[in-house]
Structure 1
Amino acid sequence: MSNVAQGRCLCQAVSLSTTKMNHQIGACHCRMCRKWGGSALLVIDCESEVNFEGTEDISIYQSSDWAERGFCRNCGTHLFYRLKQNQQYFIPVGLFDDAEDLYFEHQIFIDEKPDYYSFANETHNMTGAEFFAQVASERQ
Structure 2
Amino acid sequence: MTDRTGKCLCGAVRYTLRETPDAFGVCHCTMCQRVSGGVNMAFTVPADDIEITGAEHVRTYRSSDRAARSFCGICGSNLWYRSTDPAEVSPGYSIGFGTLDDKSGLRLAKEICIETKPESYALAGDHPRLTSQECLT
TM-score over 0.5 (shorter chain): yes
SS of match in other structure, 1:60 = strand
The match for 1:89 among 90, 93, 97 is 93
The yes-or-no answer on 1:6 pairing with 2:29 is: no
In structure 2, the residue matched to 1:124 is 128
In structure 2, the residue matched to 1:17 is 16
Over the aligned positions, Cα root-mean-square deviation in angstroms equals: 1.2
> Match for 2:73: what amino acid?
R
Distance 2:23 2:51 in 1: 20
In structure 2, the residue matched to 1:99 is 103
In structure 2, the residue matched to 1:76 is 76
The higher relative CO (CA closer than 8 Å, separation ≥ 6) is in 2
> Match for 1:92: what amino acid?
G
Give the percent of matched residue pairs that are identical in Structure 1 and Structure 2.
Answer: 32
What 5-or-longer segments of structure 1 have no aligned partner? 134-140
Aligned pair count reads 132
- 1:2-51, Cα deviation, whole Å (9 max, x unpaired): 34211111101000111232111100000000011111100111122222
- 1:75-117, Cα deviation, whole Å (9 max, x unpaired): 1111101112332211111111123311011001011112121
In structure 2, the residue matched to 1:138 is none
Q: TM-score, normalised by structure 2?
A: 0.90
What 5-or-longer segments of structure 2 have no aligned partner? none
Distance 2:96 2:2 in 1: 18
SS of match in other structure, 2:75 = coil
Kept after mapping to 2: 8 A contact 1:5/1:99: no
> Match for 2:53: what amino acid?
E
